[in-house]
Each structure stands twice: as C-alpha cells, then as structure tokens.
C-alpha cells in the first residue's frame, strides 16, 4: 500500500527550511582553524606514507626487472 503524502505549499516549505536552518550549529572560528590544521597535518602524514610505499614498490619492481 502506498502512503499518502501531504502536499506542502511553497510558502510553508520556505518556512520549514528557515526553521531547520536556524537549528544548524556552526563551528566557531577557533574550531574551524583547529580542524583545518588537523586536516593539513593528516594530509602531510599520509602524503609521506604513500611516498614511502610508492618508493618501496618502485625499488622492488626495479630489482625484479633486473632479474629478468
């Protein structure tokens, strides 16, 4: 069975959107800066990790190609 949906007028929809938007809790400037710094640190750590893994695999492949 299909459930009936109540139609919402455009004005009521806009009011509902405003009500929901007023419930949003935005981060403070300090929280935003802290989060951005943590993202930058994690990005740097992961970049170094993947560089190391790629270098190791590259060296292994070069070594394997010298055996052929």
Spans of all domains in the chain: 29-68
Distance separating alpha carbons of residues 34 and 64, to the nearest angstrom = 45
13-28 pLDDT, tens digit per residue, is: 999 999 999 999 999 9
Q: What is the pTM of this model?
A: 0.62
Percent of the chain with pLDDT over 90: 85
- Higher-confidence position of 4 and 59: 59
- Kindly tell me the sign of the dihedral angle through the C-alpha atoms of 6, 12, 17, 22: negative
* pLDDT band of 57, cuts 50, 70, 90: very high
């Amino acid at each position: 069975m299909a459930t009936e949906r109540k139609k919402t007028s455009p004005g009521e929809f806009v009011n509902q959107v405003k009500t929901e938007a007023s419930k949003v809790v935005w981060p403070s400037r300090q929280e935003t800066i802290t989060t951005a710094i943590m993202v930058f640190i994690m990005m740097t750590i992961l970049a170094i990790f993947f560089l190391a893994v790629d270098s190791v695999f590259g060296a292994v492949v070069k070594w394997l190609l010298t055996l052929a």
